[in-house]
Each structure stands twice: as structure tokens, then as C-alpha cells.
Amino acid sequence: MQYYQKGAIKVTSKVILITGCSTGFGNRAAKALADQGHIVYASMRGVNAKNKKPASELRAYADSQNVALHVVELDVTSDSSVESAVSMVIQDAGRIDVAVNNAGVMPQGPTEAFTVEQFRQNLDVNTVGPFRVARAVFPHMRTQGEGLLINVTSILGRLALPSFGIYQAGKWALEALSESLRYEASGSGIDVVLVEPGPFETELVPNAPAPGDRARLEQLKDVQERFEQMMAIFMETFANPEAPTDPKLCVDGIVQLIAMPAGKRPIRTVLGMDFGVNEFNRLTDPIRRGAIGALGLESTDEVKTS
């Protein structure tokens, strides 16, 4: 790690890889962390094709602000793409201190009307993708004796609502995967934490995949109508100017987690409108700790620090 001077304070500069930086939290977090003096690798797929414009804008931002913000090609659904991107960062920077699994999609609509292939694609992005990144960065972090993996899930990784079944399946799975990785990696100095955002003003909803089985969707008009009614109520809440829906809140939460010392980061951080998830986490965490404690695994809940 390197150091940079921020006023009178000497701050640790970390090498950070973020997925899904073409829009949303990833794009904003890449800029915010680079502005702090970190060395940021903002990744996305199609940097010379589909996402050529946001990639160019990030490069222009780096030049104008004179920050260490680099754009990297990375498709979380491809083993070779993930491995190539991680190898490039290691070759370029010599290490990876933080990996942020932010890339994701949010299918919404009657669950039964999604095709099996759509279900597979969702899991490949929202669950298998973060696993690919973890597998790629962990050996390097283990060699370093330290590292941080942040997996961005959702409050819908803890709650279940109708018409988000495909999305929730991937995020609930990522929650369980992250807990297991936390316990297994802690002895190597690797911290694994979860960020659970509520609804924010990002491109996730406008870009949401719709059910692909139109014939089945036609049979589920009543389900679709209830979904639309639910969304209308939600949008009224979302439109409240007092509602915490500014994406900066989520970005700030990620920035703060990175700044925390190893071993002090909570396993879960809820950001924005929580719909009771903070309380749910508070009430269930003793059960989680009790379960691993009963098996003599209490120490695996805290990252080993030197």
C-alpha cells in the first residue's frame, strides 16, 4: 500500500477493483474513492462497445481530476474475463487490497413468467459473478495477508416480495455465499462484508429485465396487476423528498467500510430505506453467532489481523 497526504493526515492509499462501473453505485464509488487518493480500477463489460461512452467519461474524469482511476474490461459472467482483469491489475499495481462486487441486474415481474434461461442468466450475474471475482482475488489477498471483499446485495437479499423472485433468489444466495466466505477467509486476513442497499435513484430499475415468456405472462394478469399496484405505492414512498434515496448515501457507506480497520467492519451494512431490515439483522445476528459458536467457530467471524 502507498500513502498520500490529505491535509495534515497521512492516509493509506489502497488498490481497489470495482465491478459494474458503467452506471450507478459503481460509477460513483469509483470517482469518490479515486478522489480520496486510492488507486481505482473501474471495471465493466464492453469498454470498446456497449459501454464505450461511460468508459470514455471515466477516463476523462481521471484526466481532468488528475486521479488514479483506470478503466478495465471485465465481464462477471466470464471466467476468462474476470481472471484476465484481476491479472492485469496485479501486474499493473502489484496487489489488490479491495474488491467490490457491485455489478448486478434486477429482473422484475411475475416470477413464473421468466424463462429458465433468464433465471440462469440472473444467477450468473448476481451470484456466480461475485464468486468468480472472489476466487480470482483471494489467492493474491491471501499472499498479502490482508484484503477486503465487499459484496453488494440488497434489502431484497433479506426480504421477499412478490414479482422480485428471480432477483431475490440471486441476492439471497449471495448473502449465504458471503457468510461462508467470511468464515473461511477470516484466518487469512481477508475481510468479507455485505452491503444491503434499499431503493436508490440509479439505472437498476429502468434497465430491469422483464419476463420473457409472454404467453405465460398473459395467464398471470392478476399477478401483474398486484405487482403494478405495489409498485405504485412504492413509487409514492420513493417520491418523498425526505426519503433517503440519493445514491451518494450508498457510495459513502462503501467508502466508510473501506476506511475501517480490518476486524472492525460489521458483516452487514444496510443503506437507505431499509423496510425493517436493520431490525431484522439486529434480531437474527445473535442466532447466527450462536450457530457458529455452538460449532466452536466463533473466531471465524472476525478477520485475523497482524
Q: Which residues neighbour 292 within 8 Å (Cβ) at sequence distance 6 or greater?
A: 183, 298, 300, 301
Spot the catalytic one: 3, 4, 61, 167.
167
Closest residue by Cα to residue 140 from 94, 78, 207, 196: 94
**32, 255 Cβ separation under 8 angstroms:** yes
User: Do residues 208 and 106 lie in contact, with contact meaning Cβ atoms separated by under 8 Å?
Assistant: yes
Three cell numbers, residue 29: 464509488
| Residue 73 CA, distance from chain mean position | 17
Question: Mutual orientation of helices 165-185 and 129-144 as an angle, nearest 10°?
Answer: 20
Q: Is 29 helix (H, G, I), strand (E, B) or coil?
A: helix
Scored b (16 or more CB within 10 A) or e, 200-209 reads bebebeeeeb
Tracing cell 450457530 back to the chain, one arrives at 291
Q: Is 3 a catalytic residue?
A: no
- Residues noted as catalytic: 167
